[in-house]
Structure 1
Amino acid sequence: MTATRSTRQRDVISRVLTDAEGPLGVAEVLRRAQADLPGLGIATVYRTLKLLTEQRRIHPVALDGETLYEASGRGHHHHFSCNRCTRVFTLHSCPLSLPAGGMYPGGFVVEAHEVTLYGLCPACAAQDS
């Protein structure tokens, strides 16, 4: 395999994650990347995700026991997981209000937090109306 092809694979996988509306699992990264690189294999996706993580271009998100991946540099955000279609979306507003100074009642000093909301995404909720 040539260095050019490897760079193209990295670029396509990185673009898939940058363009995604939320974090993606390995199988979904593979499916989306194969639109540009039909011969792309799962082992290459795993190697590339590891490399992009080491380079801090992407980062893993643990959600319900699965590791998903998303582009780095998106600032403070949280996730919404649809119970019906199983897609995960990025939420750009924080639903959690912490007291001033990062102190949580009981003396806990909050340094960071992650929130995942669960329910129906707009498309799935519209199917019920």
Structure 2
Amino acid sequence: MDLQTAIHTLKEKGYKRTKQRERMLKIFIDQHHYLAAKDVIRDIQQYFPGVSYATVYKNLYLLTEEKLLETIEMNREKHFRLARPGHKHLFICKACRETKDIDLCPMELIKNDLEGYVIENHKFEVYGICPQCH
């Protein structure tokens, strides 16, 4: 996804185009790993020193709700990255936060254990250390 597509998506849903939001989207477009909110705040405050934590968090959750960002929980803290299309499962390096797609979907292995249950969604994440950080 590029910046103009993301901005257009927000505009279609009635959200205003703001410089802070644009910068936040640019941060995620330029990165290929998950970022903690504090990393985003640090970057944004270089360009907008007066921006509050509340504004950054509000926009992170707005972008997540509108499916422009996706989140994971790591070290009891939410991390964000640009949402990618399709069904993904991930290996996430706890040192550098780089990710690797996992092609296998574990739902095929466990759906027999969930007979009678209605599965609405699922997420599969494996955490560890990548070869470069090992």
Name whichever of 87-96 and 20-29 sits farther off. Answer: 87-96
Aligned match of 1:56 in 51, 67, 80?
67
- Between the two proteins, the alignment pairs up a number of residues equal to 115
Alignment match, 1:3: none
Tell me the TM-score normalized by structure 1. 0.65
- Secondary structure of 1:105's counterpart equals helix
Alignment match, 2:133: 124
Q: Any gaps of 5 or more consecutive residues in structure 1?
A: 1-5
C-alpha separation in 1, matches of 2:39 and 2:126: 21
- Paired residue type of 1:27: K
Identity %: 27
Residues 44-79 of structure 1, C-alpha deviations (whole Å, 9 max, x = no match): 311321332343322433344322222234322233
- Secondary structure of 1:94's counterpart equals coil
Q: Per the alignment, do residues 52 and 17 of structure 1 end up closer, same or farther by CA in structure 2, a change over 3 Å counting?
A: same
Q: CA RMSD in A?
A: 2.9
1:68-79 aligned at under 5 Å gives the runs: 68-79=79-90
1:14-29 aligned at under 5 Å gives the runs: 14-29=25-40
Alignment match, 1:96: 105
Tell me the TM-score normalized by structure 2. 0.63
